[in-house]
Amino acid sequence: METDKTELSAWEAETVRNTVRLGFWTFAWVLSLAIATFGPMFIWESGTLFSVLAIAVNLVFGVGMILANKRHLQGLDEMQRKVQLEAMALSLGVGLITGLAFSTVDIVNLINFDAEISHMVILMSITYAISLAFNRRKYQ
């Protein structure tokens, strides 16, 4: 079997395409979120049609990102998919459990600041990154 090391197989090429596609949709979603958030402060006045449109565009890009992520996952090989799904499951569980607990301590006034959704997103992202690194190491 003589295979050129530099030449990508069809599966590898498809994985690269799926990753690039996911990167594009993620970038578009983050950018549209920034525009929807900061637009009313710096570009247009709040409560206008522009805000509605910006949020609608953000939602559309969000759907695109979800579909791109699904396609990316389906394109991975079975071990890569297992690693990703385990990291996602853990970050979802941690986000749900600690997010609701965090919200509750805010409601019953155990903390003197507001529980923001961004805190949960940061926690989920950190959990996902750590879990991914741990799982990759586990199968090395």
* Residues forming the site for another protein (CB under 8 A): 1, 3, 5, 9-12, 77-80, 82, 136, 138-140
Smallest separation, CB 136 to another protein (Å): 8
Angle 136-91-59 (CA atoms, 0-180°, nearest 5)?
A: 115
Smallest separation, CB 3 to another protein (Å): 5
Type of residue numbered 9? S
Smallest separation, CB 65 to another protein (Å): 23
Asked if residues 131 and 87 have their Cβ atoms less than 8 Å apart, the reply is yes
Closer to another protein at the Cβ: 39 or 72? 72
Asked if residues 115 and 105 have their Cβ atoms less than 8 Å apart, the reply is yes
Q: Which residues of 59-73 are buried (b: 16+ CB within 10 A; e: fewer)?
A: eebeebbeebbeebe
Smallest separation, CB 78 to another protein (Å): 5
